[in-house]
Structure 1
Amino acid sequence: MGSPWSELLANLAVVAMFVSVWIHTHVWLDRKPAAIRAAAFGLLMGAGAIILMLTPMQIQPGVLVDLRATMIAVAGFFGGPVAGIIAGVMAGAYRAFEGGIGAFAGAVGIAAAMLIGVAGNLALRGRSPTMADIMILGAATAAGSLLGLSVLPQSVLQIVLPKVTLPSTLLIFVSVAVSGLALYQERRRLEALHSRRIFKAVVETLPDCLNVKDLDGRFIVANPATAELMHATNAKALIGKTDFDFYPRETAQRFRQDELAILATGVPSTIEQHLHHDDGTDGWLATLKAPFRDKTGAVVGLITHNRDITARKRLETELAESRMRLADALAQMADGLVMFDQDGKLVLCNARYRAMFPLTADVRVQGADYRDILRASAARGEQIVPQGTVEDWIGSIVATQMQASKRQVRLTDGRWLDVRTRPTGDGGSLSLFSDITEAKHLEAELLVANEKLNLLAHRDGLTELLTRRAFDEALALEFARGKRSAIPLSLLFIDVDWFKQFNDHYGHPAGDECLRAVAGCIRATARRPTDSAARYGGEEFALILPETDARGAFVIAENLRGKVRDLGLTHAGSEKGIVTVSIGVGTFDPGSAPIEIADLLRRADEALYGAKAAGRDRVHGWRPHLSEPHSTGGRRRL
């Protein structure tokens, strides 16, 4: 084993490599949504953390020290919660896979780094980080790494602390600072580049003409709109030229006189200009001219912004034609449109609106009162009127016309209409009616499908018992009820003995049939409505027994064990010769010392361990002394 400095410096090189990879490749994701970029950043940083854990400094078996906290904190700080969580979950999953006595300490360190990075990102509140922020992140991450070390067993901590505290915290600070500064500089470069691109894009896509001329009237900058106005091939064709090269001399001379007047006063001014082209076309411009100054304040040119207002002049002559087009548009609309004045009189509607109400189309005409229309609709059975008087119903609808609102109307023929109403400036209202019948049918079908999916999500597809998630919910509910009502609660953990050998010998299809048969015995045992049976994972099952003390749970467990034996399923890989189960019993007794759900799970698990250690095919209950071998580490299996 090399010195901590040399091994952690090697880690530092890995950190630099992954940060460099992101800096040189992230441009491929620039056009992707922010969530995808964050996920990609989190995946890369998580992969880096795993690589770092593949080349750690091992203090003793199961105790690994590396710079993984750098990758996780940087992911959360620069990539946000999505990136931080992805990197943290990846690193945590791999550290759990590696195991060892330092697994829990590693998980704590990973969680601390993830929380520090994400919290730092949220603290920025959308602003770009500064170098001071990065230094704070480095210090916080280095300090957070000590949190993971602090949960190691005392005997291990005494060995680890002197060896790695200084090198690991210092190099974590340095690696976070260096990585953060590299990403900070890259972000500043991208922001500057983005700003230039935005400015260029705005100028080039601006529908108005924007250009800059020197003191002699020659173009030095122009956007495409200027070229289009002057009938030039493109903006580059204007550079070095003057208005005299594109307009008739009279027009160009008038423009030059306006420019000289602005240059003489040095004050920006807005004027209207009438222009003529050599091809005989003409138009009007609203023009803003302002002096262009250098850093010393001296006038070196003229900035011109032209807005073509020719269309405004033409609008007056096109008003009648526009009204005709509006009428055609109303007639062809797929939605119904109606307008009422401040007195509730219909002033405008299209044909589609009347077609939506065939039983009252004759009364939905200009001048009709909205209340009379609604009375006719109710009297002719066109709309479904809620319980109460018709006048109350009419009053509630008319009241919605005075404010922005949205409601749905159900007609007696089965159709549904969506009504969006907006008040008009003169005190009236405008309503848009859309047929949403098909959408309503789809919504009903979707609700039915969702109910089916919700049922499937709570049932294991193989055994039809509850899933692990549904089990957790049921246990939490029953445990809370037991504590609240001071009633006992028992939990059985059931494990099929030597199931791996069964699968290896008979094959997975036979293994599935075996699990189904065992699940059937468990269902037959869980006879009360409050009993909850679940497939806990693989060949493991769990049974929640509310209002059941330890003695009763033992009886039920023995009954279940006997049911499985009675199946008589041949098992060549078992010393029993048939399929059997081992069962651990854990009980919450309100009269004993208070415990939490985790304690109940641990007790049942330790009892199951005892049953398996005692030879399998038996039921064991939890005893306090049995918890000693399980004080560290996770669930054990023989």
Structure 2
Amino acid sequence: MLALSQEWVQSWSRSARIIGMGVLMGLGAGASMELSIEVVQGVRFDLRLVMVSLSGIFGGPVAGLISGVIAALFRIQLGGAGVPVGIAVTAIAVGLGWAGFVLRRRFGLRPSLIAALSLTEAMMPALVVLMLPQEARNVAAGTVMLPFMALTGVAFSLAVIGIEHSRYRGWLTHLTKVALSQAPDFFYIKDRQGRIVLANDAAARVSGLAAGGDAVGLTDFDLTDADRAQVLFDAEQALFRTGVPIVDFEEDVPQADGSVRTMVTTKRPIFNADGSIAGLVGVTKDLTERLALERKVSDTRAELDVVLNEMSEGLARFDDAFRLVFSNANYRALFPLTGEARQPGAHIRDILKAVVETGEQVLDGLAAEDWIAAVIEKMDTGGEEQVKMYDGRWLLIRSTPLRAGGTVVIVSDISDLKEAERNLMAVAEQMRVLSITDALTGLHNRRDFDNGLAAHFETARREGFDLSVILFDIDRFKAYNDTYGHPAGDSCLKRVAASIRDNVKRPADLVARMGGEEFAVLLPNTSLSGAQKVADNIRGAIEGLSMPHSGAENGRVTISAGVAALDREGRIETGDQLVEKADRALYAAKANGRNQVVSAPLG
């Protein structure tokens, strides 16, 4: 909700934004408590601390304090033995939010700061556990602490990235609207009937209206004389029929005071997702003063040539026969292998042939003649294209046809921009992997297992394929943790996870940690007997690790497993039912003495 409302929120006063952030995040913390997990009587785990910290980081100390007070009131209302601990850690979350606000204002939300804040936030569930009474602490540490640490860290980091992105997007949208409304050019959007859907204030004022909103619903027949309105209407209807934009249409427009002003208009179609034309967007500029200025500077061409040669972009002008009229030095420098061919009088076809012969540009598999024809067509119609050069550089080439004939080509080096895009995509992929990975073992997490199960279950039901699920549980793992300590317990989990992964070979198979000491394997296209063999292999491999376990029946770490498979009669209707069936088999294995595999019968 916060992300979707950023454009609206940007129009609020600063104090309203602060209070709104505090109240919204406080209510979110309260909602999180309504969905909390009660570990023991009166002790609850939820994500309210994430909400409180985020409020302080993005709203400031006042917003964080408001959220903290609301969250504390919600916790008091719920009651229970965990109220003092809940209020204490809420206060700590407020402090973390304040610290994050100061660091964000000073350094910006760079990745290192996000990582540091996320790690700190992830430690909050551990702090809660340490503050609990001994009995509750033991239960929480062995059940929910690690999952909630991982969930808190991931939720916090994703929320920080999402909120920062939405704040920037809302600010940018607001800035764009303000810029358009204050722009001196006439900006407007029309539907297919020629009715104005949107207009800025400048467009409204030139038509005698007070503001852009006054023009909505009107047509040119309401704003100018009938003859001129008919000419504009016919040209726009031709645009709707053909999809060809009106580019730099220049006209002399009589004014109410008897003067004449020169206007230039560009109108381009607005396309629906299916390719049909929904309307047009137009920009009209008043060229009167500019034309007068151009007449005054007509004798300063030499100075203009100096300016063109000093600009960072490459600039070239071709006549209507596609012969080069002039170009600046940077245009030739951007094409080092064909710079000598890009001289005044050279035809574009000869220049492009030189590009092909030297291999200066990557043609993306097109035949040379096809590529040359496509480039010439784009110069004739206008447009832009990103091209890759022989040396790894990327250039943006923009071609603009001139009303008087010919084409202007502007070339920019966008290599840094392309590199930034690649880096952004790499970060996005890293975040995707983190969201589906169990932090301790490197296996898939519960959420990714559930998604994979849902997809494979539907495919198996629809196509009649086999599908099996194995659930594993480390025998007497709580006793292992109590005897050897949690670091040793983590090491045990990692070794068990690695052994399971080593014994599941196919790319389509999915190995996940479901939480605590429980693991799962999803086996598409595998029958019950095949899954039984896989489970037996894994059980034997883990027993073969010979990890000492004084609290186990045979003195070493073992696992119990439950196996279930999808039957062909369709008696299992959901993936959850398949998992429940495997879970019952797992409990049977543990009840029968552990260190064994039990398969649930089909049917």
TM-score, normalised on structure 2? 0.50
Bigger Rg over Cα: 1
TM-score, normalised on structure 1? 0.47
